[in-house]
């Protein structure tokens, strides 16, 4: 059977226009009038005159002196849905102003703006004047299968140029002309060559004062001048970034275009963000003409001009700061939402890790504004898990050399500290206190079977035994561990699968940690300078003189195997839950080079915790830290963005600069 093509008519309901051009453009008078004036901008007009209806059913008339269209161009542009301007027109239009021809960037791309007039009525007329010819068209919404109905009403010769759009019996809601003046002023005062008049009165900056206009003065100390900046906030999001950005005015003329050119601002103000469609900064930089910084065609500045570089750097920095200020509340809200999502992980972090996490979330919002809140949440979640999983214990250089007697003089030392140094130390102290609490919990549990699980924790916390062990040079010695395993005839047992760097003994475990000694001649390693032995006894084993002797046997074996030198110092700790009072004395061997100290878990851990808490309180209560709200920094429930802000402001206040 032969196939036949079936042709049918297309029909257009009334809601077609709403879906095609957007509900806002054909239902919001402000959006519609802005779009119609923008059409005049794109046509290269220098003057737009608007007759605004005072009462319903009055006429709305918009005329401009732009380049307009011929009859053929009108049919092409008005009659083509989804018209592609870039294919048939240039991306700029030449404008003559004060006898200077300057290219103006155009923003229209698909011709949707021509339908904005339907916001005020179901039909309108367009009068076009170009090349000595005038034509008037009636444009109506079509019926059924015709989306747009265009009828030519008249043609004649003319000496004038421009376009007139007119809506008889316009419906404009309840908007007075004063409101339209404000809204158009906020968007079209960026270029002095583009004048907009409403009812024969030109729109000026005075029309928008107290309606979203802020003025600031930027001093340029090295040049001894002040650069005024007008900041316009439309207070409602426009459809695009047209007429928003940074505009430079010199002697009443626009230099270049109004846009977001600064790389830092472009990073902060993505074109899809609300702020990019709200704010305009007008920089009144008249002195730049005297410095010879303006190009002859006013298309921009001489980038190599020293005065321009100086002014631009300071001005752009201030604009960026203003943008950060206006977006701060939104960023804080996002940070708060993300923080709530990861509350359990963040609460487990130390203060410094929480601060780093919060700073990351803040900074990534500034650097990657296109990231959605969900994307930010995913990235922040990964970081939160990484921070929580860290088990690094940094060396506290300032405290390493302190003896117990010097702790009382800590406040004097703190006078030379910075806030960051204090934060780092307090953060480390909290990590260490947590480690001790974990050890206390495990060592007081009578059901603890795998004593070897404690060895990795003691390895991380050799500082528990005193200040002399406050070094990162101690490392597990696998060679010595192997010797002890052989000593007990159990080479097959190598400790836990996670950390096979200690030996299992019948009633506990032994960890051996050394740091090397080096030759003064060639710097070669000549053996261990010091060996630390941590022998953990199972909770059920009572530590006596016998256990001390057992520990000494390990040391003898290591010496006989040549693993110790005549200069190696050995400090052994025999730790258990219970120790006979009579056996608590330290045992020395090998002319004092070997010391074996039995000590119960509770004593060593409580002693270390007490020392740390004392240190923690001394630092936390230092007067200069109290002035900077350090308690808020340490509070896991505090809103970190606010805390960091307060700390930074406090530091700046104390700074001599």
Give the total number of structural domains in the chain.
4
From CA 377, how far away is CA 360, in angstroms rounded?
12
**Across the chain, which distance is largest between two alpha carbons, in Å?**
122
The packing angle between helices 419-443 and 601-620, to 10°, is: 160
Q: Which is it for strands 47-51 and 213-220: parallel, antiparallel or unpaired?
A: unpaired
Residue 585 pLDDT more than 70? yes
Instruction: Note the pLDDT of residue 517.
Output: 79
Asked whether residue 143 falls in the same domain as residue 289, the answer is no
Residue 136 lies in a domain: yes
Residue 582 pLDDT more than 80? yes
Candidate ranges 308-317, 323-332, 474-483, 632-641; pick with highest mean pLDDT: 308-317
* Bridge partners, 535 (sequence order): 510, 574
Nearest residue to 40 via CA among 174, 184, 249: 184
Residue 496 pLDDT more than 50? no
Of 325, 354, 369, the residue at which a domain comes to its end is 325
Asked whether residue 598 falls in the same domain as residue 640, the answer is no
- Comparing 306-315, 414-423, 522-531, which segment has the lowest mean pLDDT? 414-423
Q: Is 644 helix (H, G, I), strand (E, B) or coil?
A: helix
Share of the chain above pLDDT 70, in %: 68
- Comparing 26-35, 489-498, 597-606, which segment has the lowest mean pLDDT? 489-498
Query: Rounded mean pLDDT of 401-415?
Result: 53
Asked whether residue 281 falls in the same domain as residue 359, the answer is no
Residue 330 lies in a domain: no
- Comparing 360-364, 607-611, 612-616, which segment has the lowest mean pLDDT? 612-616
Asked whether residue 309 falls in the same domain as residue 351, the answer is no
Instruction: Note the pLDDT of residue 320.
Output: 83
CATH number of the domain within which 25 lies: 3.30.565.10
* Bridge partners, 572 (sequence order): 533, 596
Q: Do residues 527 and 513 touch, judged by C-beta distance below 8 A?
A: no
The mean pLDDT of the chain is 77
At 68, the pLDDT band (50, 70, 90 cuts) reads very high
Query: Which tokens in the block code for residue 390?
Result: 């860290």
Residue 452 lies in a domain: yes
- Comparing 96-100, 226-230, 259-263, 577-581, which segment has the lowest mean pLDDT? 259-263
From CA 616, how far away is CA 638, in angstroms rounded?
19
Asked whether residue 69 falls in the same domain as residue 123, the answer is yes
Q: What is the rounded radius of gyration, in angstroms, for the C-alpha atoms of the chain?
A: 39
At 276, the pLDDT band (50, 70, 90 cuts) reads low
Residue 618 lies in a domain: no
Asked whether residue 19 falls in the same domain as residue 163, the answer is yes
From CA 567, how far away is CA 592, in angstroms rounded?
11
Instruction: Note the pLDDT of residue 392.
Output: 37
From CA 545, how far away is CA 538, in angstroms rounded?
16
Higher-confidence residue: 624 or 340? 340
Residue 584 pLDDT more than 70? yes
Residue 575 pLDDT more than 50? yes
Higher-confidence residue: 524 or 565? 565
At 368, the pLDDT band (50, 70, 90 cuts) reads low
Q: Do residues 594 and 588 touch, judged by C-beta distance below 8 A?
A: yes
Q: What contacts 201, CB < 8 A, 6 or more positions away?
A: none
Asked whether residue 44 falls in the same domain as residue 191, the answer is yes
Instruction: Note the pLDDT of residue 558.
Output: 85
Candidate ranges 109-113, 153-157, 426-430, 541-545; pick with highest mean pLDDT: 153-157
At 641, the pLDDT band (50, 70, 90 cuts) reads very low
Q: Is 143 helix (H, G, I), strand (E, B) or coil?
A: coil
Per-residue model confidence as pLDDT tens digits over 320-348: 888 877 777 777 777 778 778 877 777 77
Residue 411 lies in a domain: no
Asked whether residue 285 falls in the same domain as residue 363, the answer is no
Q: Do residues 201 and 226 touch, judged by C-beta distance below 8 A?
A: no
Residue 407 lies in a domain: no
Residue 400 pLDDT more than 50? no
Query: Rounded mean pLDDT of 305-325?
Result: 89
Higher-confidence residue: 637 or 194? 194
Residue 522 lies in a domain: yes
- Comparing 199-213, 214-228, 346-360, 466-480, which segment has the lowest mean pLDDT? 466-480
From CA 271, how far away is CA 268, in angstroms rounded?
10
Q: Which is it for strands 123-130 and 162-167: parallel, antiparallel or unpaired?
A: antiparallel
Cβ count near 219 (within 10 Å): 12
Q: Is 524 helix (H, G, I), strand (E, B) or coil?
A: coil
At 426, the pLDDT band (50, 70, 90 cuts) reads low
Asked whether residue 55 falls in the same domain as residue 157, the answer is yes
| pTM of full prediction above 0.85 | no
From CA 236, how far away is CA 186, in angstroms rounded?
11
- Comparing 372-386, 417-431, 513-527, 571-585, which segment has the lowest mean pLDDT? 417-431
At 2, the pLDDT band (50, 70, 90 cuts) reads low
Share of the chain above pLDDT 90, in %: 22
* Bridge partners, 576 (sequence order): 600
- Comparing 198-202, 404-408, 432-436, 611-615, which segment has the lowest mean pLDDT? 404-408
From CA 411, how far away is CA 325, in angstroms rounded?
37
| CA of residue 269 relative to chain centroid, distance | 12
Per-residue model confidence as pLDDT tens digits over 146-167: 778 889 999 999 999 999 999 9
Per-residue model confidence as pLDDT tens digits over 587-598: 999 989 999 999
Identify the domain containing residue 349 by its residue range: 342-390+636-654
Instruction: Note the pLDDT of residue 8.
Output: 58
Q: Do residues 632 and 646 touch, judged by C-beta distance below 8 A?
A: yes
Nearest residue to 505 via CA among 446, 559, 576: 576
Residue 552 pLDDT more than 60? yes
At 657, the pLDDT band (50, 70, 90 cuts) reads very low
Residue 191 pLDDT more than 70? yes
Nearest residue to 475 via CA among 528, 438, 431: 528
At 195, the pLDDT band (50, 70, 90 cuts) reads very high
Residue 540 lies in a domain: yes
From CA 196, how far away is CA 185, in angstroms rounded?
8
Residue 305 pLDDT more than 90? yes
Q: Rounded to a whole number, what is the distance in angstroms from the first to the last CA of the chain?
A: 92
Residue 483 pLDDT more than 90? no
Higher-confidence residue: 556 or 631? 556
At 625, the pLDDT band (50, 70, 90 cuts) reads low
Residue 567 pLDDT more than 90? no
Asked whether residue 438 falls in the same domain as residue 578, the answer is yes
Q: Which is it for strands 201-202 and 60-64: parallel, antiparallel or unpaired?
A: unpaired
Residue 395 pLDDT more than 60? no
Per-residue model confidence as pLDDT tens digits over 120-138: 988 999 999 999 999 999 9
Asked whether residue 183 falls in the same domain as residue 267, the answer is no
CATH number of the domain within which 596 lies: 3.40.91
Query: Rounded mean pLDDT of 392-398?
Result: 38
Asked whether residue 535 falls in the same domain as residue 646, the answer is no
- Comparing 84-88, 303-307, 317-321, which segment has the lowest mean pLDDT? 84-88
């Amino acid at each position: 059977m032969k196939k036949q093509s079936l042709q049918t008519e297309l029909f257009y309901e009334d809601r077609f226009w709403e879906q095609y051009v957007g509900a806002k453009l054909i239902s919001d008078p402000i959006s519609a009038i802005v779009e119609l004036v923008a059409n005049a901008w794109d046509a290269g007009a220098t003057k737009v005159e608007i007759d605004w209806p005072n009462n319903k059913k009055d006429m709305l008339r918009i005329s401009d002196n732009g380049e307009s269209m011929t009859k053929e161009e009108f049919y092409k542009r008005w009659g083509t849905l989804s018209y592609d301007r870039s294919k048939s027109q240039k991306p700029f239009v030449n404008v003559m102003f004060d006898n200077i021809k300057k290219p103006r960037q155009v923003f229209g791309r698909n011709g949707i703006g021509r339908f904005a007039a339907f916001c005020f009525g179901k039909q309108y007329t367009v009068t076009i004047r170009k090349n000595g010819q005038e034509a008037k068209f009636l444009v109506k919404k079509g019926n059924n299968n015709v989306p747009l109905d265009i009828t030519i009403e008249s043609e004649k010769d003319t000496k004038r140029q421009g376009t007139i759009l007119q809506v008889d019996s316009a419906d404009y809601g309840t908007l007075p002309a004063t409101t339209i003046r404000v809204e158009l002023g906020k968007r079209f005062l960026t270029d002095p060559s583009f004048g907009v008049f409403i009812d024969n009165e030109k729109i000026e900056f005075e029309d928008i004062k107290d309606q979203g206009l802020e003025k600031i003065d930027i001093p340029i100390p090295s040049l001894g001048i002040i650069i005024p900046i007008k900041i316009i906030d439309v207070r409602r999001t426009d459809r695009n970034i047209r007429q928003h950005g940074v505009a430079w005015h010199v002697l009443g003329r626009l230099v270049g275009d109004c846009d977001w050119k600064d790389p830092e601002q472009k990073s902060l103000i993505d074109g899809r963000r609300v702020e990019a469609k709200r704010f305009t900064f007008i920089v009144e930089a008249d002195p730049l003409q005297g410095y010879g910084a303006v190009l002859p065609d006013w298309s921009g500045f001489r980038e190599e001009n020293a005065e321009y570089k100086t002014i631009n750097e300071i001005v752009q920095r201030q604009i960026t700061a203003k943008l950060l200020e206006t977006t701060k509340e939104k960023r804080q809200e996002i940070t708060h939402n993300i923080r709530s999502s990861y509350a359990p992980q963040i609460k487990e972090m130390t203060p410094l890790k929480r601060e780093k996490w919060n700073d990351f979330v803040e900074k990534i919002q500034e650097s990657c504004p296109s990231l959605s809140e969900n994307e930010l949440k995913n990235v922040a979640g990964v970081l939160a898990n990484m921070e929580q999983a860290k088990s690094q214990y940094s060396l506290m250089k300032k405290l390493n050399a302190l003896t117990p007697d010097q702790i009382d003089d800590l406040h004097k030392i703190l006078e030379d500290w910075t806030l960051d140094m204090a934060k780092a130390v307090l953060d480390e102290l909290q990590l260490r206190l947590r480690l001790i609490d974990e050890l206390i919990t495990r060592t007081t549990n009578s059901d603890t079977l795998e004593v070897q699980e404690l060895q990795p924790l003691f390895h991380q916390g050799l500082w528990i035994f005193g200040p002399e062990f406050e070094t990162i040079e101690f490392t597990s010695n696998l060679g010595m561990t192997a010797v002890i395993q052989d000593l007990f005839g159990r080479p097959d047992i190598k400790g836990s699968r996670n950390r096979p760097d200690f030996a299992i003994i019948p009633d506990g475990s032994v960890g051996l940690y050394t740091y090397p000694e080096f030759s003064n001649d060639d710097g070669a390693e000549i053996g261990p300078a010091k060996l630390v032995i941590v022998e953990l006894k199972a909770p059920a084993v009572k530590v006596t003189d016998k256990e001390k002797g057992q520990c000494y046997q390990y040391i003898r074996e290591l010496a006989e195997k040549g693993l110790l030198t005549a200069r190696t110092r050995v400090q052994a700790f025999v730790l258990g839950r219970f120790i006979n009072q009579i056996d608590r004395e330290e045992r020395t061997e090998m002319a004092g080079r070997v010391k074996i100290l039995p000590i119960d878990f509770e004593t060593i851990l409580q002693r270390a915790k007490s020392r740390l808490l004392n240190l923690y309180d001394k630092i936390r209560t230092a007067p200069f830290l109290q002035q900077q709200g350090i308690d808020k920094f340490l509070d896991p429930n505090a809103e970190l963005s606010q805390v960091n802000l307060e700390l930074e402001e406090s530091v700046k206040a104390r700074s001599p600069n």
